[in-house]
A and B are shown apart, each in its own frame.
Chain A
Amino acid sequence: MKHASDLSRRRLLLGGAALGAGALLTACTSNEEDEPSGGAQTAAAGNNQNAAPGEKVTIGFSAPAADHGWIAAITNNAKAQAAAYSDVEFKTVEAGADAAAQRAALQTLVAQKPSIIVLLPHDGKELNAFGLEAMKAGIPVVNLDRAFPDPLAYRLQIKGDNYGMGVSAAHYIIDQMKAKNVASPVIGEIAGIDSLELTQERSKGFADTLAQAGFKVGNRRAAEFTADSGQREAASLLQALPKMDALWNHDDDQGIGVLAAIQQANRSEFLMVGGAGSKAAIEAIQADNSVLKATVTYSPSMASSAISLARLIAQNKGMSDLVELQVPKEIILASETITKENASNYLKLGF
């Protein structure tokens, strides 16, 4: 009898502890910041006649649910830009985990008959057929960043310049090396997911441009666009190159891990160039207190621009600075280099 009551008391204690821990844990899931942060990148110019409310349009939007800051910023930017227009109704569908899921989600979107669809596909090739189908049904498609191979599958394509990122990063490194009089620098590269075309383009632009100056990449490691993989690969790279002059890391999100690895290895003899242009990276460049001296942009602000352009297309307007009465068919953003000097201009574009 006594034994039983002991047991139940112990169970009660255990249960209480578990409940307490559970309550404490659920209190810990909040990510609310104390002060609201800057947030999305929108541009609703006041005196531009195109910004004046026009015909009501419905913009359908779909982007993958990837676990990456850049994709999250794409979705947030699109939402915020659409909210900036009083004449835009914004309908979004999550693209799910792969191309098939996105295709299914897009079918439900088409059934709601939007005026235009803005779409960041999982894979441009796999969703090419959807683009064709929607265009045929009279719904213009704006392809965001991942190109459709078939020109009939989209009305507008707006994307970043992956090859150009490599070129910009290499140019910055070449300039710095020349300024420092380093004749044959040891250059490291930490790429993103190696099987993606965009990673290959970035690396090609980097290697091609370096070759023009007679430089080459000393060691190249491929991470997975995540901070922990960036740390892992950077730790290996630092070990492989005991002395390095420059390092290009393709992605600022994975750069958090790369910088951590550099700090853990106590290294500072080289300069590092980032990629994409995250807020944390731009702030670090501005503060100038780490090896990160520059980053080359691949800005998710393209989602905001895509929504603005989609609205113009749906309203049958052109871009006011251009002579043409219609929005152009293809826009490739330039990859800009952010350094300490111009970092303050870019801070509002960081994600």
Chain B
Amino acid sequence: MTAQTAAAPVKKDPEKPAAGERRWWQLDSTEGLWRNLALVAVLAILIITGIITKPELYSDGTWVRNNIFTILELASVIGVVTVGMTFVIIGGGIDLSVGAIIALAGVWSTTLATQDYGAGGMIFCALAVGIGVGVVNGILISYGRLVAFIATLAMLVAARGLAAQISGKQTQVSTSDFINGIAANDFLGVPVLVYILAAVVAAGWVLLNRTTFGRRTVAVGGNVEAARLAGINVKRHTLLLYALSGLCCGIAAVMLTSQANSAQAAMANLYELDAIAAAIIGGTLLSGGRGTIIGSLLGVLVFSTITNLFAINNLSTEVQNMVKGGIIVLAVLIQQIQFKAVTQFFAKNSKITTS
């Protein structure tokens, strides 16, 4: 049965033998789709579990609507960070310093001196610090030839240290109504944070899929040497990737400061691990060269939905962390074994029948 249908298109389309050997579900472009569908299924299972365990909450329409926004708001800061992280990982690197950059940018933008400049000054400061630290990371990695893991690990420690130094280890309260309002206000019934997340995800998608920058990122991550021979300035491109991650951290710092009405050196604790985990269960290859923004977003949403599910059922954080760990392993296993095995199975079959 499979053999017959598999053999048919080759005869119809002899001028495209390469495409003919691979079915549409085996193509690189649809591989991402499969992964994303699997994540959507996981999301659906989580939500159904919520409905089964807490029917009295889910029967209230306004509560459900609020809950969706709560999940999205919970996902917003990590989501923005994950977009930057996805670019860095696709480009063959890793950024362990994202949490520390958020803390530094947040603390820097909420010092009394910065707050004197008003909301504009605070936002500028957060973004500039984010990009600045990202550029330092990039220079160390691309021109200083440090391994990304080590350079950003060093930055993680140093940036948190500087943040603690600037803040004097105190929690700095933001007095700007505009900044605090970002997390508190709605626009047309949808929280502002959700718009920011949507905008960053959309911009990330366009940048990755519709621009030369995105193509180069995939090329650099897939094979550095080939990318260099193809005329890509690999060093500059790597630097730009870390700067982009830094920019995302700057945006995230403003959002997190707004949510907490304050900033401190210990904020955004372990966000780097959450962002990497989300990117990976979203199908981004840790060795670079492959990944999707939508997959990463779904990865973040899976995590924030789990957190929400555990909160409404009053389950402890420990259980939640164990389940999170399990889901990371499961997601990667399913993606590796199932889809590879299935596609390879079909590929073998079609080869046997067509040769």
Q: When A235-B74, A239-B67 are in contact, do A257 and B112 touch as well, CB less than 8 Å?
A: no
- Cα A242 to Cα B170 in complex, Å, equals 33
* Seed contacts A67-B164, A237-B311; 15 additional CB < 8 Å A-B pairs: A25-B129, A28-B111, A29-B113, A31-B112, A68-B169, A229-B269, A231-B261, A236-B308, A239-B70, A253-B171, A256-B173, A256-B260, A257-B261, A260-B184, A260-B260
- Cα A222 to Cα B266 in complex, Å, equals 16
Contact code string B316-331 (vs A, CB < 8 Å = 1, else 0):
1110000000000000
Among A194, A236, A264, the residue within 8 A (CB) of B307 is A236
Is there an interface contact between B166 and A256, defined as CB atoms closer than 8 Å? no
B194 within 8 A of A: no
Q: Nearest Cβ distance between residue A120 and chain B, in whole angstroms? A: 14
Chain B residue at smallest Cβ distance from A33 = B112
**For B180, what are the chain A residues with a Cβ–Cβ distance below 8 Å?**
260
**For A260, what are the chain B residues with a Cβ–Cβ distance below 8 Å?**
180, 183-184, 259-262
Q: Nearest Cβ distance between residue B111 and chain A, in whole angstroms? A: 5
24 A-B contact pairs sorted by A residue (CB < 8 Å): A31-B167, A65-B169, A68-B264, A69-B169, A194-B318, A218-B314, A222-B317, A225-B266, A226-B264, A227-B260, A227-B262, A227-B267, A228-B260, A228-B268, A231-B259, A231-B260, A239-B308, A240-B312, A240-B314, A242-B60, A256-B171, A256-B261, A260-B259, A264-B259
- Cα A215 to Cα B307 in complex, Å, equals 26
Is there an interface contact between A227 and B57, defined as CB atoms closer than 8 Å? no
Contact code string B154-197 (vs A, CB < 8 Å = 1, else 0):
00000010011011111111000000100110000000000000
- Cα A180 to Cα B304 in complex, Å, equals 36
Using a Cβ–Cβ cut-off of 8 Å, how many residues does chain B contribute to the interface with A? 55
**For A230, what are the chain B residues with a Cβ–Cβ distance below 8 Å?**
260
Is there an interface contact between B266 and A226, defined as CB atoms closer than 8 Å? yes
- Cα A262 to Cα B214 in complex, Å, equals 40
CB-based closest 10 A-B pairs:
A236-B311, A67-B266, A260-B261, A30-B113, A227-B260, A28-B114, A228-B260, A257-B260, A240-B312, A67-B265
Is there an interface contact between A235 and B112, defined as CB atoms closer than 8 Å? no
Is there an interface contact between B169 and A67, defined as CB atoms closer than 8 Å? yes
CB within 8 Å of B: which A1-39 residues = 21-22, 24-25, 27-33
CB within 8 Å of A: which B142-163 residues = 160, 163
Is there an interface contact between A27 and B266, defined as CB atoms closer than 8 Å? no
Is there an interface contact between A227 and B183, defined as CB atoms closer than 8 Å? no
Is there an interface contact between B73 and A219, defined as CB atoms closer than 8 Å? no
**For A219, what are the chain B residues with a Cβ–Cβ distance below 8 Å?**
311, 314
In terms of DSSP, what is the predominant structure of the interface of chain B?
Answer: helix
**For B262, what are the chain A residues with a Cβ–Cβ distance below 8 Å?**
227-228, 256-257, 260
B108 within 8 A of A: yes
CB within 8 Å of A: which B291-323 residues = 307-308, 311-314, 316-318
**For A231, what are the chain B residues with a Cβ–Cβ distance below 8 Å?**
259-261
- Cα A32 to Cα B172 in complex, Å, equals 12
B25 within 8 A of A: no
Q: When A28-B114, A29-B166 are in contact, do A257 and B259 touch as well, CB less than 8 Å?
A: yes
Chain B residue at smallest Cβ distance from A233 = B311
Contact code string B41-52 (vs A, CB < 8 Å = 1, else 0):
000000000000
Contact code string B237-275 (vs A, CB < 8 Å = 1, else 0):
000000000000000000010011111111111000000
- Cα A21 to Cα B260 in complex, Å, equals 26
Is there an interface contact between A68 and B266, defined as CB atoms closer than 8 Å? yes
A104 within 8 A of B: no
Most A CB within 10 A of own CB, among B57, B112, B163, B169: B169
**For B163, what are the chain A residues with a Cβ–Cβ distance below 8 Å?**
67
**For A224, what are the chain B residues with a Cβ–Cβ distance below 8 Å?**
266, 269
- Cα A218 to Cα B311 in complex, Å, equals 11
- Cα A225 to Cα B113 in complex, Å, equals 25
Most B CB within 10 A of own CB, among A32, A194, A231, A261: A231
Most B CB within 10 A of own CB, among A71, A72, A240: A240
**For B9, what are the chain A residues with a Cβ–Cβ distance below 8 Å?**
none
**For B60, what are the chain A residues with a Cβ–Cβ distance below 8 Å?**
242
B132 within 8 A of A: yes
